[in-house]
Amino acid sequence: MRIKSMPTQPIAGQRPGTSGLRAKVKVFQQPHYLANFVQSVFDVIGDISGQTLVLGGDGRYFNREAIQIIIKMAAANGFAKVLVGQGGILSTPAASCVIRKYQAFGGLILSASHNPAGPDADFGIKYNIGNGGPAPEQVTEAIFKRTTEITAYKIVEADDIHLDEIGQFSMGDMQVQVIDAVADYAALMQGIFDFDAIRGLLAQDFSFVFDAMHAVTGPYATTILEDMLGAPKGTVINGEPKEDFGGGHPDPNLTYAHELVDILYGDDAPDFGAASDGDGDRNMILGNHFFVTPSDSLAVMAANATLVPAYQDGIAGVARSMPTSGAVDRVAEALGIDCYETPTGWKFFGSLMDAGKVTLCGEESFGTGSDHVREKDGLWAVLFWLNILAVRQESVESILADHWVKYGRNFYSRHDYEAVDSAAATQVLQHVRDQFESLKGQTLAGRVVKLCDDFAYTDPIDGSISTNQGVRVLFEDGSRIIFRLSGTGTSGATIRIYLESYEQDTTKHDLDAQVALADMIDAAHQISKLPEFTGRDKPTVIT
């Protein structure tokens, strides 16, 4: 085996975003693009000689080719072992599970999450540290800095590894172990939830559909839901992972998971429906003709956590991203536990979980998780709901109605304007910032503005500071309008408007969220001039 030092030069634009480096496939296929980034990771993460690297991805187009390149670079850079999922597959939560179980140095996860896949679509890569979670900002900034200085990368001349065959292979002095992509994760789930109770639920007159959206969760859901828990064959639909996700957009929301939505809102709808995304870390929960917002889902999980064996003694605390509704805050207050508000990005939850401060956490962008791994976890959330349903023996809708009676309802919605001209998107947020002083004390949508700011966060564990995390308009009654640019797309900019209003009156809890928030939607357009700046008269996606 010969190690080659390949001369290269910096490639602009390789700064990792909220969830790693994302770009079009054709960008990643450019000479040296992937290798530059991987070498930059290896150069800054510490002494990797003799260490283990976990490697896998969501199976999207270019996944297999990228894995072969990374394995050869890992061998050239001194890793002793690479654990790679069979077929190059590892869901993001499963990768975190494997990193933690085998005490690996870290892992490279190949995914662009919920973004479309295919030769003309998106690809991504991110580095997760030894706790199984996404690299913190000081690491991603060091990686980026290195990409601006790189002059060479190391790679070995060797044959490709047979990724479809479980077993151990050698590449020079390095061992490559192709592992069952599902087994370790499935065992972890079995240790968290009451599988006997869920089996009992599924044996009743209970109907259930899980949409894997032709993405990575298919094999995990089929093994756990159908093989281990006894759900009828066919419960998992679109369960075969495809390089282009079957031509769909694997984002589990009411717009893109339209096949599942049609089933749950159709005639003879099943009792329960759920979906996961491209890399398996997001989830959508549905009842019969009923949608559970991710914010409410987190709150219900926290309120019912003791029904799950792993959390039967209670939870240490909860955390949510700033744009996520305050529904879980009310549960935390009732339970007498801490609730932390962080910027968007799962990495911000990692230090809190490592310090034992929180057990459950979530984001409004269809991500929930716990301290069992250091990533959000779509299938875990589905199993959590099944465990609750099995114990309570109530419908999804009745569980939410009961929750709102006890805690009140946080009407909540997110409006996404995708692929907006970047300059126009920046103008929208700046226009709101320019009104910070004048808006204070004004009445908008029948509410008095209390405060306007750019959200900033100081990590209570490591003291790191994150600024400019979202433009907030906060009202005296607790309502909120938040504007934020998303970091998960690869074309233009995505403007996200988050709208929230709290309602205690139970006679109003059955209102449609868009109706309940209509005046706030108008106010958001008024103060941002989004239609004028962008030319958009309606969102791309409403959740």
Distance separating alpha carbons of residues 173 and 79, to the nearest angstrom: 9
pLDDT tens for 465-495 read 889 999 999 999 999 999 999 855 556 889 9
Question: Is 80 exceeded by the pLDDT of residue 353?
Answer: yes
Instruction: Write out the DSSP string of 133-187.
Output: SBPPHHHHHHHHHHHTT--EEEEEE-PPP-TTS-EEEEETTEEEEEE-TTHHHHH
Looking at residue 488, what is its pLDDT? Answer: 54
For the beta sheet containing 493-503, the strands, ordered from the edge strand earlier in sequence to the opposite edge, are 443-444, 447-454, 471-475, 480-486, 493-503, 409-420, 541-542
Q: Percent of the chain having pLDDT more than 70?
A: 99
Tell me the fold of 409-542: TATA-Binding Protein (3.30.310)
Average pLDDT over residues 36-65: 97
Q: What is the pLDDT of residue 86?
A: 98
Please state the domain extents for the chain: 2-181, 185-407, 409-542
Ramachandran bin of 235, using left for φ above 0, alpha for ψ from -120 to 50, beta for the remaining angles? alpha
pLDDT at residue number 9: 98
Same fold, 2-181 and 185-407: yes
How many Å from the N-terminal Cα to the C-terminal Cα in the chain?
52
Superfamily of domain 185-407: Alpha-D-Glucose-1,6-Bisphosphate, subunit A, domain 3 (3.40.120.10)
pLDDT tens by residue, 358-403: 999 999 989 999 999 999 999 999 999 999 999 999 999 999 999 9
Collapsing DSSP to helix, strand or coil, 357 comes out as coil
Stretch 264-277: mean pLDDT, rounded?
97
Q: Name the residues annotated as catalytic.
A: 113
Confidence category of residue 137, pLDDT binned at 50, 70, 90 = confident
Query: Does the pLDDT value for residue 18 go beyond 80?
Result: no
pLDDT at 404 > cutoff 80 = yes
Average pLDDT, the chain: 95
Instruction: Name the strands in the sheet holding 208-211, side by side, starting at the edge strand that comes first in the sequence.
Output: 236-237, 208-211, 272-276, 283-287, 290-292
Helix, strand or coil, per DSSP, at residue 479: coil
Q: In the chain, what percentage of residues exceed pLDDT 90? A: 93
Q: What's the confidence (pLDDT) of residue 19?
A: 80
Per-residue confidence (pLDDT) for residue 464, from 0 to 100 = 87
Q: What is the CATH number of domain 2-181?
A: 3.40.120.10
Residue 78 has pLDDT above 90, yes or no: yes
Question: What's the confidence (pLDDT) of residue 345?
Answer: 83
Q: Is the pLDDT of residue 50 over 90?
A: yes
For 191, the token pair is 């240790």
pTM: 0.93
